[in-house]
Amino acid sequence: LLSICFLSPPVNTDRACVFLACSQNNECIQRAGNICGLRQNCARTDFCMGYFKLDSGNPTPVLLGCSINQAFSPNLTCNASIHFPNFIGSVCNLFFCNMNITWNQQGKQYEYKQPWYSSVTTVNFILSLFILDVKCAILVIIPAGALILLFSFIIVLKWKFYLKCCNTSYNDLGKHLEIQKVVACNHFATVWRGTFKGFSVAIKVFPTARQREFTKEKHVYKLPLMMHSGIVRFLVDGKIGNEFLLVLELATHGSLNAFLTRTVCDWACMLKLAQTLSQGLAYLHTDLKMNGVYKPAVAHCDLSSSNVLVRADGSCALCDFGSAIVLQHQPPHRYTHILKDRVQMCTLQYLAPEILEGCANLNSSYFLLQADVYSLGLLLWEILMRCSDLCTGSPVPVHMLPYETEMGHSPSLDELLIFVMEKRLRPTIPHFWAGVSSGLALHELLEDCWDHDADARLTAACVANRLASL
């Protein structure tokens, strides 16, 4: 029995799910809908999801809530799979259906036609009866006796894929890779923490429906000359059953969003974050030839504080290249589709005004790089707002996303068009920066990054140079 109290009207009355998340997971899952105690009202999908750790064959929930992944078919009542040997992932589309899962270990064997073989077991999803707090209303979700058995084949996966960059054989990978817990999730994939050959790594898993994003991101990581301190290090890639996987460097502090939420920076900390972020983007934008090897310029196209990682040494690293565009022989008509994709899939408050309105100059790919610089300006604003040395005599503000003060956590496209495009307003810069050494220079830097005219904005390389001169 679970007691839940409604503190506010649900965002989407079509679906509500049980909520459970640790501090590391809160950042990603809270975007899926409003949270009220142990209830989450889904804002993006009609699906509940749950990740369970198998402990002596018994599933223990580690992450419950609304799914933010649009990859699941609405015709499915439940979609369950074992992503890793000691975890179960489940998706279902009934009220509060993600609470309980009964795991039947005694299943029949099934032989796949693929080069690897797996055992298949039966999963019985038992939907629990929830009784709400007396102060609210008593809601019976599942009538007595109406148990819905949702059967799904579960593939026990063996790690058998060829890893070029590490020269690891199929068999070797399975021996050296260990999965521990979910650390993040986004529109396309779920990120797990684990170890590879004894070293901590991040493991990004894409469902079958997101193969396109997996392929795009892998392609960017595997471009020549992509090894740079400002870009998260790519280790290996492969396929696990019907899912696709990237193994990446693990950033100890997590996303920039999470880091700024819990950390107040001094001048040195702030400057390192800002410089390494700008240097990483400048390198990504660089068209580079070296010793007969060519790296084309790449536009990230989805920069946000959730898509930048912070390492243990306080440096930033760019990640999440599923929306990135390699600027190499792109016909002008292709950019029309790119503009539509940006608005539909990316974090709206970080999009440049010309992308929001769809009025960019499509004759050149340069507009994509300058749209990244607009996003960079907003990221720098987030970093600077958490710098104690810029707040002399004033308390350091809590971390806020761009435009969150003016329009809330998730502003709509129409709200942003009015505020950013028509009124040409930007996040507020505190007046007391003017009394601090380099405060005016930083103010000017931000304005030159998010200028309404894309051609008037600085390049990422120029931003890095200005920060280096402070």
Task: Cite the active site residues.
Answer: 302
Q: Beta strand 87-92 with 102-103: parallel, antiparallel or unpaired? A: unpaired
Tell me the CA end-to-end span of the chain in Å, nearest whole number: 59
Query: How far is the C-alpha of 439 from the C-alpha of 261, rounded, in Å?
Result: 22
- In the 3-class helix/strand/coil scheme, how is the chain assigned residue by residue? CCCCCCCCCCCCCCCEEECECCHHHHHHHHHHEEEECCEEEECCCCCEEEEEEEECCEEEEEEEEECCCCCCCCCCCEEEEEEECCEEEEEECCCCCCCCCEECCCCCEECCCCCCCEEEECEECCCCCCCCCCCCCCCCCCCCCCCCCCCCCEECCCCCCCECCCCECHHHHHHHEEEEEEEEECCCCEEEEEEECCEEEEEEEECHHHHHHHHHHHHHHCCCCCCCCCECCEEEEEEECCEEEEEEECCCCCEHHHHHHHCCECHHHHHHHHHHHHHHHHHHHCCEEECCEEECCEECCCCCCCCEEECCCCCEEECCCCCCEECCCCCCCHHHHHHHHHHHHCCHHHCCHHHHHCCCCCCCCHHHHHHHHHHHHHHHHHHHHCEHHHCCCCCCCCCCCCCHHHHCCCCCHHHHHHHHHHCCCCCCCCHHHHHCCCHHHHHHHHHHHCCCCHHHCCCHHHHHHHHHCC
